[in-house]
Amino acid sequence: MRESGLRWTFIIGLLLSVFLDGTISQQFAGHLFRSSATAVPEITTLWLLCASFFEDQYHMPTYWFAVFAGVVFDLFYSGYWGVYLFIFPVIVWLARTLRQVLPVNLFATLLVGFLGFTIQPLLSWSALQMIGGTGTSFADFMVIDLAPTLALNEVILLILYVPLRQLYLRGARVQ
């Protein structure tokens, strides 16, 4: 019964992060979306990565929640079906697979974050490139978009590591 506490925290956190991504992008567009460097907040990816990487035993249908977050992203933000719907479950799978081989500490988490924050834009860029939904070239993508995005999200992850880790440790203890 107790595990439902962590479950609700996860769901509310996921919803918050989905909408925070869009709202932060909008409010700080002048600072984040410059033509020379574009840093995109990936709070949802961060939340899914941490939830999957910190989880000790799999009590939650995280994949389904990832699909749900993907649907909201596709419909509300992107307008194309099937992009984030695919990416977010891949993120969960990535974190869970790495959990088998890596210890859970700050550096491992930053490494998982590095991979996740790279794969998310890489896959969405590839999907949009395929259907002609973007004019950004691969070189521009790497230099202008990917590098600043990674930097921004790694910093956010660094700040949130301790509180999120504590949350999941406490959740595991209660169980």
Partner 1 sequence: MHRFFSNRRLVIIAVGIITCLGLLTLSVTVRNRRNTPPIIQQFGNDVAGFADRVVSVPVGGVGAGVNSISQLLSTYDENQKLKQQVDQMAQDKVRLQTTENENKELRSEAKLNNSLIDYQPITAGVIARTPSAWQNQLVIGKGKTSGIKKNMPVLAGKGLIGRVIEVNQTNSKVELISDDTDTANRFAIQVTNAGGETVNGIVTGYDKDKNLLEMGQITTKVAIKKGDKVTTSGLGGVTPKGLFVGTIVSTSSDDYGLANKVYIKPAGNLGTVNVVTVAAKQ
φ, ψ of residue 28 to 5 degrees: the values are -110, 25
The distance of closest approach from Cβ of residue 3 to partner 1 in the complex, given in angstroms and rounded to an integer, is 25
* Cα distances (Å, whole numbers) of residue 144 to 34, 114, 132, 162: 9, 17, 19, 30
User: Closest by alpha carbon to 87, among 69, 60, 75?
Assistant: 69
- What is the C-alpha to C-alpha distance for residues 120 and 1, in angstroms, rounded to an integer? 34
**What letters, b where the CB count within 10 A reaches 16 and e where it falls short, cover 6-35?**
beeebeebbbebbeebbebeeeeeeebeee
The distance of closest approach from Cβ of residue 118 to partner 1 in the complex, given in angstroms and rounded to an integer, is 13
- What is the C-alpha to C-alpha distance for residues 6 and 91, in angstroms, rounded to an integer? 20
Considering the complex, state which of residue 56 and residue 140 has its C-beta at the smaller distance from partner 1.
140
Considering the complex, state which of residue 49 and residue 171 has its C-beta at the smaller distance from partner 1.
49
Residue type, 117: F
The distance of closest approach from Cβ of residue 65 to partner 1 in the complex, given in angstroms and rounded to an integer, is 15
Considering the complex, state which of residue 136 and residue 166 has its C-beta at the smaller distance from partner 1.
136
The distance of closest approach from Cβ of residue 41 to partner 1 in the complex, given in angstroms and rounded to an integer, is 6
- What is the C-alpha to C-alpha distance for residues 39 and 151, in angstroms, rounded to an integer? 8
Considering the complex, state which of residue 45 and residue 171 has its C-beta at the smaller distance from partner 1.
45
The distance of closest approach from Cβ of residue 132 to partner 1 in the complex, given in angstroms and rounded to an integer, is 4
Considering the complex, state which of residue 80 and residue 161 has its C-beta at the smaller distance from partner 1.
80
> Could you list the residues that contact partner 1 (CB under 8 A)?
15-16, 19-31, 33, 35-36, 38, 40-42, 71-72, 74-83, 85-86, 89, 97, 121, 124-125, 127-128, 130-136, 140-141, 144-145, 149
